[in-house]
């Protein structure tokens, strides 16, 4: 029996290209952590600003339409979500890299009709019709910029064109600016059962510095109105590390959230896109207070502490929900790279391991929608897509069952990753127990570095052994 286990392990190692006696790992690779007194602030020199992505091989432009047709004829397997993109905003926020189009009333209605045409056109394909859709997300941009009648019409099309699971989570993302009672009611009548509102901070001075228009009183009023409808989970986003934000502001933001008694919260770290408006303003010395890495780490730690004391459930390293209503299905499915059906200009999806991108230019999208699926770019799955998907999804939850994942993939992942994980354990980022990798508080703060590190380690180590 022992011999059989050994030879199975050797087979698995051979699949990975591992030497029986793995060693000589260069200690200077960036995924190895610094060993220091405080891993929360010092484990890595800088924080990875993007989530561990899949990458992929670009498909030639001439082959894109044919490949999309083939993908649309295949029945889906596994969990599926749908993403519907509303690429309009009333104002442009300083820190944002996603602003696409100004929200002009005449464009919004035309766009809503195009979106509905697009959904109607492919509803009978095997890809769309073949199984339940577990979560739908209207994101942007600002979906709540749409008029009430357009929000209702788009949500009606979702109900009509997608085979929704009985317990499908339907989220509308939005801002409180212009989110009237009429729009809230239109969303609820259209079947929305979750609202994700981008608050970022309740502090008026910090908000106005970011280009956010609504003031604290208005935010409290709109969130309370939404909550009192008692028809849907109400979730907000808060960001730490904003220009002008101190620890006192951050604690006050979380306290205000807790006083509102909402269903869930995302606590995000500010992402400063190199060369973006925020980056330029910061380099130009516009802000007297701009949190450094150790300040942001302290804010993360305080956020975890306050949410834990308030007895909210931890649904991922950055998301908390109350026991009732909040499930966070869409976000968790996306981290696992579930199938994602995409609709709208600039939307991105995931079909059979392929990343799919839709036409981002509004005028071009409006011409295509309903006539032909506006897919303009596809990335074919990278090697080891299943492993990457599991790393990305599991570490978002703060843990990974390496043994089970290895068995399911037919790989000796415990053996392969032991040099890296032992180093991370010594650095205070993870704890290891019977094949389980659990992130410490510091590991949670550095989660994107760890996920990217596991992916890079796999690619580079195997390439070195090829
Ligand atoms: S509303 Fe959202 S998408 Fe639009 S500019 Fe502000 S942060 Fe970006």
pLDDT in tens, 392-413: 899 999 999 999 999 999 999 9
What structural domains and CATH numbers belong to the chain?
Answer: 2-53+384-465 (no CATH), 61-335 (3.80.30.20)
Question: Model pTM?
Answer: 0.90
Q: How far is CA 392 from CA 230, 241, 338, 382, 419, in A?
A: 34, 24, 12, 14, 20
User: Which stretches in the chain have pLDDT values below 70?
Assistant: 1-28, 49-54, 463-466
Position 24 scores a pLDDT of 38
Class of residue 152 by CB neighbours under 10 A (exposed 0-12, middle 13-18, buried 19+): buried
Position 466 scores a pLDDT of 54
Residue nearest to atom 6 of ligand 1 (CA): 93
Position 398 scores a pLDDT of 96
Q: Which of 438, 414, 417, 415 is nearest to 428 (CA)?
A: 438
Residues whose CB falls within 8 Å of the CB of residue 290, separated by 6 or more in sequence, listed in order? 243, 244, 282
Q: Which of 266, 270, 271, 390 is nearest to 317 (CA)?
A: 266
CA of 389 to the centre of ligand 1 (A): 28
Q: How far is CA 133 from CA 168, 191, 201, 317, in A?
A: 7, 14, 33, 25
Side-chain half-sphere CA neighbours of 108 within 13 A: 20
How far is it, in rounded angstroms, from Cα 237 to Cα 243?
17
Which residues are near ligand 1 (CB < 6 Å)?
89, 92-93, 96, 98-99, 140-142, 175, 198
Query: Which pLDDT tens digit goes with each residue over 57-79?
Result: 899 999 999 999 999 999 998 89
The secondary structure element, H or E, covering residue 166 is strand 164-174
Residue nearest to atom 5 of ligand 1 (CA): 92
CA of 124 to the centre of ligand 1 (A): 33
Residue nearest to atom 8 of ligand 1 (CA): 96
Residue nearest to atom 3 of ligand 1 (CA): 141
């Amino acid at each position: 029996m022992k011999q059989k286990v050994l030879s199975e392990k050797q087979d698995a190692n051979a699949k990975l290209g591992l030497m029986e006696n793995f060693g000589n790992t260069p200690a200077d690779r960036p995924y190895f952590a610094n060993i220091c007194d405080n891993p929360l602030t010092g484990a890595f020199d800088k924080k990875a600003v993007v989530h561990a992505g899949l990458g992929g091989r670009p498909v030639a432009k001439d082959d894109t339409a044919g490949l999309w047709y083939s993908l649309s004829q295949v029945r889906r397997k596994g969990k599926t979500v749908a993403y519907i993109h509303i690429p309009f905003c009333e104002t442009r926020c300083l820190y944002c890299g996603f602003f696409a189009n100004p929200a002009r009333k005449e464009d919004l209605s035309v766009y809503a009709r195009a979106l509905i045409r697009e959904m109607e056109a492919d509803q009978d394909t095997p890809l769309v019709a073949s199984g339940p859709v577990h979560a739908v997300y209207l994101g942007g941009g600002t979906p709540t910029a749409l008029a009430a009648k357009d929000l209702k019409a788009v949500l009606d099309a979702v109900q009509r064109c997608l085979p929704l699971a009985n317990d499908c989570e339907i989220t509308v993302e939005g801002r409180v600016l212009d989110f009237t009672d009429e729009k809230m009611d239109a969303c609820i009548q259209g079947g929305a059962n979750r609202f994700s509102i981008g608050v970022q901070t309740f502090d008026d001075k910090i908000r106005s510095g970011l280009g956010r228009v609504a003031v604290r009183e208005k935010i409290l009023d709109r969130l309370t109105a939404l909550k009192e409808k008692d028809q849907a989970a109400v979730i907000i986003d808060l960001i730490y590390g904003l220009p002008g934000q101190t620890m006192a502001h951050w604690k006050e933001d979380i306290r205000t959230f807790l006083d509102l008694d909402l269903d869930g919260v995302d606590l995000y770290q500010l992402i400063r896109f190199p060369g973006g408006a925020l980056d330029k303003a910061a380099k130009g010395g516009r802000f007297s207070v701009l949190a450094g890495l150790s300040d942001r780490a302290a804010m993360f730690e305080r956020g975890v502490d306050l949410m834990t004391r308030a007895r909210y459930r931890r649904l991922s390293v950055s998301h908390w929900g109350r026991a009732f209503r909040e499930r966070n299905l869409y976000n968790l499915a996306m981290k696992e790279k579930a199938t994602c059906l995409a609709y709208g200009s600039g939307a991105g999806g995931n079909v059979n391991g392929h990343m799919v991108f839709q036409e981002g230019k509004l005028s071009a999208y409006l011409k295509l929608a309903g006539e032909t699926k506006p897919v303009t770019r596809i990335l074919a799955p990278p090697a080891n897509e299943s492993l990457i998907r599991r790393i990305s999804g599991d570490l978002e939850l703060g843990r990974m069952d390496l043994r089970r994942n290895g068995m399911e993939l037919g790989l000796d992942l415990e053996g392969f990753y032991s040099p890296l994980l032992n180093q991370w354990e010594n650095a205070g980022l993870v704890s290891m127990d019977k094949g389980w990798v659990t992130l410490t508080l510091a590991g949670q703060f550095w989660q994107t570095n760890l996920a990217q590190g596991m992916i890079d380690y796999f690619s580079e180590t195997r390439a070195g052994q090829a």
